[in-house]
Amino acid sequence: MGFSAIDYGVLLLYLVGITIFGTLFRRSQRTVKDYFLGDKNTSWVVISLSIVATETSTITLIGVPAIAYASYARPEIGGNFAYLQVVLGYIVARFIISLLFIPAYFRGDLLTAYELLKRRFGPKSKNFAASLFLCMRAIGEGIRVFSASLVLSAVLGASFPTLPHLWLWSIIIVGFLTLIYTFEGGIAAVIWTDLIQLVIYIGGSLLAAYELLHLVPGGWDGIVAAGQTAVSTTGQPASKFQIFSFTWDWSVPFTFWAGLIGGTFLTMASHGTDQLLVQRLLTCRNKRDSQKALILSGFVVFFQFALFLLIGVMLYAYYKANPLTTALESNDQVFPFFIVHQLPHGIAGLVIAAIFAAAMSNLSGSLNSLSSSTVIDFYKPLVNPKASDDSLLKLSKWFTVAWGIVLILIAIVSKTFTKSVLNTALSIASLPYGAMLGAFLLGVLTKRANQRGVMTGMALSLAFMLMIWLETTLAWTWYVLAGTTVCFVVGYGVSLIGKPSEVATSAAEG
């Protein structure tokens, strides 16, 4: 069908509307604490949904359906619902974080996750972990912004096939508009725009699923038949509705063991030590609300991943009956391609707006968390300890702008090395997560660990994981567990050689 003027109108209305809405929160930004944590008066349900929106990017919306749509040599690699095994780990981790990390975060008036390490070990360990966060979040978010450009490129390419550098303009548009409302509204704008964007992208995904249900010959029965008779790339039966695989193979990502154990450690790191998501937990009124918000988000995430995987199976059934006549550069483009060419006018614009909602939600959270860590963890303690709150607030906004420019540049560079956006982003994020999680576990589980041990453990964990990434076939789902184990064992072992530092001793006793 192609993208019509109606679709462009819907998309433009969303982009302009969400930007204006986000800027309305600028009047509530009176202090640095307001800018990064809000007034701590937001409902835990809203914050829970904001957590879901923040961890859901365009990568999720186009990458997860692509995993279920594609055919692979083995079911443990993809082509079915096996990713849900990883999501089970996501849920388990949330309960562990609620017991281990959230109480520690609410014992002090913290603005960033890494202040916990400073209080427990000293400033060097905090600076090390915060530096890892800044590098990892910038690279990962740059790839996510690039993934959003794939969508807009598909949209504009259908209407303006001769227009050059569509992906570049897509990156600039998404980055610039998100930067405007994040700059003005701070964390309050991020949380409330997250809520709107979640409603839009879930609603848009349900609309796409509804249309697919009517477009596939035979409806639901036709989808089930196509999914059950699917075959792998080796010609073996490979049902697309398979969820569990109890194979022990360290090189494949979606086994029960890799999903449950690996997914648990991945989420313990991402939701327990990454400022992007810990910042959401710190905006809650109290520890109890924070725990409820985090646990509820896990079940909402499970529902949405099941929905995205189902859309992938539906796309497989549709294109099995209506083979593609246009070669796609990657499977990540199959959902945007379907939206642009098959959905009715108006609905196509809404679903594309939904994909942009996920991209802008994730980007806004990253900008605010990067700025908060830069100002609170580095600028104030290292550059200007006596800076006034007014000057810090202004500086925080300009650091948001600086990080916005950096992320746009990283997104542009990402085009040269990104193949599967989902696997690339998760692999890069998982490399340093083990070092960060190991450091936090040493902080909350032990009294003996000291700053020298933690620093040594983190450094060796990073080196070890870089070697694993470059030299082995270990699946990314095991990365965080491997890195955490190295950091914890080495960190604790080195700490036993010396005496606990005064900072560590007093923190542990307190």
Euclidean distance between CA atoms 144 and 386, whole angstroms: 37
Count of alpha carbons within 13 angstroms of residue 65, beta-carbon side: 27
Phi, psi angle pair for 128, to nearest 5°: -65, -50
Euclidean distance between CA atoms 40 and 281, whole angstroms: 10
CATH code of the domain covering residue 426: 1.20.1730.10
For the chain, give the number of residues. 510
pTM (global) more than 0.85: yes
Q: Which residues contact 424 (CB under 8 A, 6 or more apart)?
A: 143, 417, 418
Give the total number of structural domains in the chain. 1
Euclidean distance between CA atoms 364 and 389, whole angstroms: 23
Euclidean distance between CA atoms 331 and 284, whole angstroms: 39
Which range marks the domain in which residue 316 is found?
Answer: 5-509
Q: Which residues contact 231 (CB under 8 A, 6 or more apart)?
A: 71, 237, 238
* 238 and 231 Cβ atoms separated by less than 8 Å: yes
Euclidean distance between CA atoms 419 and 413, whole angstroms: 13
Closest by Cα among 123, 74, 356 to 231: 74
Q: Which residues contact 415 (CB under 8 A, 6 or more apart)?
A: 146, 167
- Provide the residue type at 465 as one letter: M
Could you read off the pLDDT tens digit of each residue along the chain, which spans 510 residues?
Answer: 567 888 889 888 988 888 898 888 877 777 888 888 887 888 999 999 999 988 887 778 888 999 999 988 888 888 999 999 999 999 999 999 999 999 999 987 778 889 999 988 999 999 999 998 898 888 878 877 777 776 666 666 656 555 556 667 778 888 888 888 888 888 888 888 888 888 888 988 899 999 999 999 999 999 999 999 999 988 999 999 999 999 888 988 899 999 999 999 999 999 999 888 898 899 999 999 999 999 999 999 999 999 999 999 999 999 999 998 888 877 888 898 888 888 888 888 888 887 777 778 778 888 889 999 999 999 999 999 988 988 998 999 999 999 999 988 888 887 665 555 555 666 676 788 999 999 999 999 998 899 999 999 999 999 999 999 889 889 888 999 999 999 999 999 999 987 665 555 444 444
* 66 and 331 Cβ atoms separated by less than 8 Å: yes
Q: Which residues contact 474 (CB under 8 A, 6 or more apart)?
A: 250, 251, 468, 482
Euclidean distance between CA atoms 88 and 81, whole angstroms: 12
Euclidean distance between CA atoms 411 and 151, whole angstroms: 14
The helices-and-strands tally (H runs, E runs) of the chain is: 21, 0
Closest by Cα among 83, 87, 86, 65 to 330: 65
Supply the DSSP string of 453-496, one letter for each residue.
Answer: HHHHHHHHHHHHHHHHHHH----GGGHHHHHHHHHHHHHHHHHH
Coil vs helix vs strand at 100: helix
Coil vs helix vs strand at 403: helix
